[in-house]
């Protein structure tokens, strides 16, 4: 049911959106609406939507004919929003911004999915609409709060789904159901039309079978929204990830003393295997102390942020507490124990902890953590609903408080037949850089898609974007090359070498006079057929380019270079006057060969 496979089937005429919709509704009819769904779009309406999609616009609609689901705390016009609490239910007058964007891109909504009530929990059991279980074993929890959204994807009912993620609700269910769970940077996807849990922290998340599908959905859903006061768009250089284009990167692994699996016997080895796989992909592990991150996590449910949950439904809970799930009511009611003073003191603690965690990002590009330490049966959660829920959030609760991005991905199967998962976590706006690495790691650790026996290798891979997010590609030809005297001007700005190649043949190359340190000059001569000049292409964070260019002396300048494969990048050129009296070294094909010729 992955997007690429459906689009291929549509293109070859093997299937149509109407046939796909009919097959989904036949399954729902046979299996029942609950516990996966709270409500579904009437079959006739979904079928009409499929038929109305213009066949000639397939290429213009990135989600043409793709079935999806949304968590039932996300508004859909004309449908009830319950947040898994019947007494809270209301009829939505208009759709959430993200739903509108997806439908405009050609996606077909199937229905609204089950969840932990008011998005309070990581278990998927706090709902009156039936308990979702892992698609691999009905005795085990599906994870929450986005339980039904994860199960709908893992069981092949839809190609992707929307969840929400405040404490890990878009990631923990991904692990327990062997799928991708993307938690974008806060504000990248609009929360307009979403029932808030903690409004300052909430994110709309994406579940999909592959990282490629998640990236495609994000490309549609991630848009600045004036209706959402927390909506954000990255500014120049935000989330710059020059390492994403390099052949090597650094990833953080918790020091052994801060790595916790709560007695689980299988997950430690699977995590070790994931670390080894990421090393094989070019990563260098860097140990770090997870302690301050865990201290941040404690603030979310053991601090005044729980008062935000109360603020979201304060009027309702005052009149309907007895109609709520007892565990949810207990957690949210706990807000009464916190004062304004507590809130400010916790805010001060958070800022102190942010300062403590910041140095870690000077040594790593991303973290690799278990998505959850272990899993539990439905019965075990019932025995200790709050304590065991807290265990599930061990590696997820700090992420939104620290304004980080995360991708949860499958990381192999345990001997007992349950899936394990890991998460790549990066700084704000790094999700587009994390996704291609998550895709490679996914393919190294897993074999099948979701709960099916379909092979992951049959699904297309996700290529890293060029240039990397927040970066500009800069070609250098002389003193800025690796090992040369001005290379520090790139490395100190966070630049990373992408590749070594040559320009197109239309360039002449000169050793300039009276430059310190010695520098060459590159001139494009239309029609000239030379050997092409060796260049290094570097990815440079876009917000550092201005200071880099400011340091370029006459007669050099930054212009546009054409590489041997036709690619256009920025790079060093020389003004025509700079070649007066200069030595033509074109036939040597590069600065290093010229320097060698002087020895």
For residue range 380-434, list pLDDT tens digits in order.
999 999 999 999 999 999 999 999 999 999 999 999 999 999 999 999 999 999 9
Q: Identify the pLDDT of residue 338.
A: 85
* pLDDT < 70 stretches in the chain: none
| pTM, two decimal places | 0.94
What does the pLDDT look like over 443-452, one tens digit per residue? 999 999 999 9
Residue 29, SS3 per DSSP: helix
- Rounded to the nearest angstrom, the gap between the alpha carbon of residue 256 and the centroid of all alpha carbons in its chain is 26
Using CB atoms within 10 A of its CB, is residue 396 exposed (0-12), middle (13-18) or buried (19+)? buried
Partners of residue 163 on adjacent β-strands: 205
Residue 51 has a CB neighbour count (10 Å cut-off) of: 11
Specify the fold of 3-227+366-458.
Amidase signature (AS) enzymes (3.90.1300)
Q: What does the DSSP assignment read for 453-478?
A: --BGGGSPP-PPPSSPTTEEEEEE-S
Residue 149, SS3 per DSSP: helix
Domain coordinates of the chain in residue numbers?
A: 3-227+366-458, 471-597
What does the pLDDT look like over 35-58, one tens digit per residue? 999 999 999 999 999 999 987 778
Q: Identify the pLDDT of residue 339.
A: 87
- Rounded to the nearest angstrom, the gap between the alpha carbon of residue 155 and the centroid of all alpha carbons in its chain is 22
- For 209, residues 6+ apart whose C-beta sits below 8 A from its C-beta are 1, 2, 153, 159, 179, 180, 449, 450, 459
456 vs 445: CA distance, rounded Å: 10
Peptide bond preceding 555: is omega within 30 degrees of 0, i.e. cis?
A: yes
Q: Identify the pLDDT of residue 305.
A: 82
> What backbone phi and psi angles, to 5 degrees, belong to 60?
-90, -10
Domains 3-227+366-458 and 471-597 share a fold: no
Dihedral (Cα; 550, 553, 554, 557), 10-degree rounding: -50
Q: Identify the pLDDT of residue 17.
A: 96
Identify the CATH number of the domain defined by range 471-597.
Answer: 3.10.490.10
381: closest CA among 147, 46, 594?
147
Q: Among all residues, which ones are annotated catalytic?
A: 71, 145, 169
């Amino acid at each position: 049911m992955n997007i690429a496979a459906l689009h291929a089937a549509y293109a070859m005429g093997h299937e149509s959106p109407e046939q796909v919709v009919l097959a989904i509704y036949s399954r729902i009819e046979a299996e029942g609406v609950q516990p996966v769904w709270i409500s579904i779009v009437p079959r006739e309406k979904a079928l009409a939507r499929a038929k109305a999609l213009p066949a000639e616009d397939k290429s213009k609609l990135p989600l043409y004919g793709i079935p999806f689901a949304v968590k039932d705390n996300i508004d859909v016009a004309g449908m009830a929003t319950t947040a898994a609490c019947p007494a809270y239910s209301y009829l939505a007058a208009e759709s959430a911004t993200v739903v509108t964007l997806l439908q405009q891109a050609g996606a077909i909504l199937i229905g609204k999915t089950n969840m932990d009530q008011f998005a309070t929990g990581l278990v998927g059991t706090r709902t009156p609409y039936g308990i979702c279980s892992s698609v691999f074993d009905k005795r085990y929890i599906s994870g929450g709060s986005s339980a039904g959204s994860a199960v709908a994807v893992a069981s092949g009912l839809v190609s992707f789904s929307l969840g929400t993620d405040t404490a890990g609700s878009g990631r923990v269910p991904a692990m327990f159901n062997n799928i991708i769970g993307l938690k974008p940077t806060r504000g990248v996807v609009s929360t307009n039309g979403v029932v808030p849990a903690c409004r300052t922290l909430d994110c709309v998340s994406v579940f999909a079978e592959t990282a490629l599908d998640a990236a495609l959905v994000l490309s549609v859903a991630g848009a600045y929204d004036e209706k959402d006061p927390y909506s954000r768009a990255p500014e120049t250089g935000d989330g710059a990830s020059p390492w994403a284009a390099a052949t090597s990167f650094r990833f953080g692994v918790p020091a052994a003393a801060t790595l916790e699996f709560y007695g689980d016997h299988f997950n430690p080895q699977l995590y070790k295997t994931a670390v080894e796989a990421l090393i094989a992909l070019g990563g260098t592990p860097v140990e770090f102390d997870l302690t301050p991150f865990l201290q941040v996590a404690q603030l979310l449910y053991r601090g005044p942020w729980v008062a935000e949950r109360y603020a979201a439904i304060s009027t309702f809970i005052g009149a309907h507490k007895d109609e709520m799930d007892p565990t949810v009511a207990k957690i949210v009611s706990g807000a009464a124990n916190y004062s304004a003073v507590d809130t400010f003191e916790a805010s001060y603690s958070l800022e102190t902890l942010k300062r403590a965690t910041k140095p870690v990002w000077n040594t790593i590009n991303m973290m690799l953590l278990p998505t959850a330490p272990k899993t539990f049966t439905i019965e075990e959660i019932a025995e200790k609903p709050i304590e065991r829920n807290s265990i599930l959030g061990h590696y997820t609760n700090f992420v939104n408080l620290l304004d980080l991005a995360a991708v949860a991905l499958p990381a192999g199967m345990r001997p007992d037949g349950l899936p394990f998962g890991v998460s790549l976590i990066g700084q704000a706006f790094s999700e587009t850089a994390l996704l291609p690495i998550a895709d490679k790691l996914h393919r190294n650790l897993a074999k099948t898609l979701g709960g099916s026996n379909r092979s992951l290798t049959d699904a297309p891979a996700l290529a890293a974007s060029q240039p990397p997010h927040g970066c500009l590609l800069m070609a250098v030809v002389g003193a800025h090359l690796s090992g040369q005297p001005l290379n520090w001007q790139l490395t100190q700005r966070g630049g990373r070498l992408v590749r070594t190649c040559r320009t197109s043949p239309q360039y002449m190359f000169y050793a300039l006079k009276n430059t310190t340190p010695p520098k060459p000059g590159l001139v494009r001569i239309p029609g000239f057929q030379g050997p092409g000049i060796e260049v290094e292409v570097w990815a440079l964070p876009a917000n550092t380019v201005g200071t880099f260019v400011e340091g370029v002396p006459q007669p050099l300048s930054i212009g546009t270079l054409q590489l041997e494969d036709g690619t256009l990048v920025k790079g060093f050129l020389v003004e025509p006057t700079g070649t007066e009296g200069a030595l033509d070294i074109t036939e040597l094909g590069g600065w290093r060969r010229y320097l060698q010729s002087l020895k």
